[in-house]
Structure 1
Amino acid sequence: MPKISAATVAQHRANRLRDLLDAGRAIVAEEGPEALTLAALARRVGLSRPSLYEYFRSREELVAAIVTDELPDQARRLAEAVHAVDGVPARVEAYLRTVLEIIVDGSHGAVVALSAHALPEPSRRRIRAEHEKLLAPLAGVLIEARVPQPGLRALLIHGSVEAAARTLRPGDVAQSENVLQALLDLVLHGIGVDRKNTRPDYPR
């Protein structure tokens, strides 16, 4: 039996799996998603390919494991941020601020890049289910505010945040705050156009 580095075999496997997922994320962050292969991961952690197969039988399994491991932690951060404050505006701001923080760090980029790869349908379903949990805290705030179609609107708001994050420069705190305030204004107050005063032929 291989030497274990924990109190139990189960704990040893859990620790090893955590090391493998962390190493996989590091490969993606440093070299891009195409560099993530079982061979590259085995070299990174000093593990033989047969030993690695005990955890992942294919690159697709590895990708799905990294993505579904990352998303629950992001969902937890969002839920904690929203529940730490009171009132709809404050909760919306907490959600937007935390989403921006998540997006501009390297982990979210790795998740997005890996999710774009062709994966078996069961893996894609797992990823979709976990991704929907990211929207749950915001949808809950919209439900509390009695906003119509809260699920759809939460999805649209999240898309706006992802678009806004592409305008950010690493380390530019002032720009990040400007983007956050623009998002808050857009989400809470719209773009300021009175639909009653728009031209008759304007699509509504």
Structure 2
Amino acid sequence: MPRISADTVAEHRANRLRALLDAGRDLVTEGGPEALTLAALARRVGLSRPSLYEYFRSREELVAAIVTDELPEWARFLERAVAGAEGVSAKVEAYLRAELGVITDGSHGAVVALSAHALPDASRELIRTEHERLLAPLVGVLEEAGVGEPGLRALLIHGMVESAARAIAPGREDHNETVIRALVGQVLHGLLGEVSSG
């Protein structure tokens, strides 16, 4: 029996799986989606290919595991951001800031790049379901505010956040805060709501 590095075999497997997922994400961040192969992952963590097959039978299974591992944590982060705010406007702003933070985090790009690759239908369905959970806190706030078609509105707002993320520049805090305030203003007040009706 192989030597384990935890109190139980289950803990050892959970720790090893965590290390594999983190190493896989690092490979994608460093070299793009093409860098993620079972051979490269085995080399990175010092496992033999047969040992790696105990965790992932194919590259597609590895990709799906990395993507579905990340999405629930992002969903919990967004839920906590909204729960910590008081009032509809503050909750929407908290959601926008949190989602923008997630999108501009380096690991997000790796996950998005991976999810664009061909995956089995079951994996795609799981990713789609988890992605919907990312919008759920915002949908809840919009429902609470009596906004019509809250699911559609949340999806459109998500598109605005993705656009704002492209305007974010590392190390330019004043500029980034201007982008965030413009995004919040656009979502909460619309374009014409921000100018005098004169």
- TM-score bracket, normalised by the shorter chain, equals over 0.9
1:201 maps to which residue?
none
Deviations 1:166-201 (A, max 9, x none): 1111122112211111111111111107xxx9xxxx
Contact (CA 8 Å) 1:104, 1:170: kept in 2 or not?
A: no
Asked if residue 140 in structure 1 is aligned to residue 137 in structure 2, the reply is no
Counterparts of 1:88-99 in structure 2, within 5 Å, are: 88-99=88-99
Deviations 1:123-181 (A, max 9, x none): 00010000000000000100010000001100110111011101111122112211111
**In 1, distance between residues paired with 2:181 and 2:119?**
37
Deviations 1:94-123 (A, max 9, x none): 000011111111111111100110111000
Amino acid at match of 1:90: A
Amino acid at match of 2:16: R
TM-score, structure 1 as length reference: 0.93
> Which of structure 1's runs of 4+ aligned residues deviate more than 3 A?
none
Asked if residue 187 in structure 1 is aligned to residue 190 in structure 2, the reply is no
Asked if residue 59 in structure 1 is aligned to residue 55 in structure 2, the reply is no
1:78 maps to which residue?
78
The SS at the match of 2:191 is coil
- Single out whichever of 167-176 and 22-31 deviates more from structure 2: 167-176
Query: 5+ residue gaps in structure 2?
Result: none
**In 2, distance between residues paired with 1:171 and 1:100?**
15
**In 2, distance between residues paired with 1:109 and 1:119?**
17
1:22 maps to which residue?
22
Aligned residues: CA RMSD: 1.3
Q: Percent identity?
A: 72
Asked if residue 32 in structure 1 is aligned to residue 32 in structure 2, the reply is yes
